[in-house]
Chain A
């Protein structure tokens, strides 16, 4: 098994799985019906992409596990998502801010992955990039609408940006696995996406009348699995309980 490839696929699939699950937590309780539907649809896209990434990860691993096994039967320390996506929903503004910060990264990442030297990765990216282009349009516009909205909505969006700011850096921090895969042309070096990300987000924050905090301290440990935040364990107890309580249960 190509371990770096397997790890890279887990990172891709765990990002979409965990944020997809987080977004799905709004289903039925979003502030307005249109947003409820929009969030549920985005969660659906992200979980669909997860099936492809983790399905390929399972193939690459070659030990007979399925995408479902990887999603439902791994524990916290086996997950390889960045810390940003496991952060709690907070209020609606914080959810939308988290979504925009991830979507913008996700779009740049997928645009590069469409050129991957690994054909199966390029094929999944070509499918997903269309969906994520749409996600960014929406999360960006909503960040601007709420940031440049009322005094209260601006206050909440600023609080969300300040809270989530230290989780941005991890998305661009490259480790030995990233560099091995980047050298082989399988994935982009995450650090190489940072300039485009900063350029895009700077415009959006300005339009949204938001001030990015000073400093570039970044939490880490999610994508390497070294140390997740406490929140991921709570998320997994919800997401995985059925397969844990009734192993092998099927519809």
Chain B
């Protein structure tokens, strides 16, 4: 059985990020390459933050998902260069983050608007949040605290 690379990408798009399960590993932009090397499916995965504990879980989740689809000969390589950037988040990924209550990264260095009420009246609580990729902000209109996906 030969599975097309396009099919594999589709399957990968169903593998959720372990920390932010509304987006997939493809939305996150960390799967950089999928190709067949003879009988072996080879994937290149780029870590988000150097010390992110989710990185290992992600590799395991990807392998499990592909095995569930009947693939067994899988090689997952970690590729650190070029380094991951939030520019690699897909448009649909950004939309899903916002819907989930996490403000997507913005080049301005802070969230554009409150993911709850849309207000631009915001203040930073802390440069770091519940995971390495997030900072902690608050809306000064609806007063809800929220996570902001840091721009990297």
Contact = CB atoms under 8 A, between A and B. Distances in A.
Given A123-B80, A127-B81, A37 B128 contact: yes
A126 B83 contact: yes
Interface in B32-57: 47, 49-53
A44 interface: yes
Interface string B132-152: 100010000000000000101
Contact of B51 (A46, A122, A137): A46
A103 to B, nearest CB: 13
B127 interface: yes
Nearest to A20: B51
Given A42-B128, A134-B150, A138-B127, A124 B80 contact: yes
A59 to B, nearest CB: 14
Contacts of A128: 50
A41 B83 contact: no
Interface residues of B, number: 22
A180 to B, nearest CB: 25
A239 interface: no
Interface string A7-18: 000000000000
Interface residues of A, number: 27
A34 B80 contact: no
A45 interface: yes
Contacts of A166: none
A52 B152 contact: no
B21 to A, nearest CB: 20
Contacts of A34: 125-126, 128, 136
A128 B47 CA distance: 12
B16 interface: no
Nearest to B109: A137
A38 B80 contact: no
A131 B49 contact: yes
Contacts of A48: 47, 49-52
Contacts of A45: 49-51, 132
Contact of B127 (A52, A119, A122, A134): A134
Interface string B64-88: 0000000000000000111111000
B128 A51 contact: no
B130 A37 contact: yes
Interface of B: 47, 49-53, 80-85, 125-130, 132, 136, 150, 152
Nearest 5 interchain pairs by C-beta: A48-B51, A48-B50, A123-B81, A34-B126, A44-B51
6 contacts: A37-B128, A47-B51, A51-B51, A124-B80, A127-B80, A134-B152
Given A43-B51, A52-B80, 17 more contacts: A34-B128, A37-B128, A38-B127, A45-B49, A45-B51, A45-B132, A47-B51, A48-B47, A123-B81, A123-B83, A127-B50, A127-B84, A130-B152, A134-B150, A137-B127, A138-B127, A138-B128
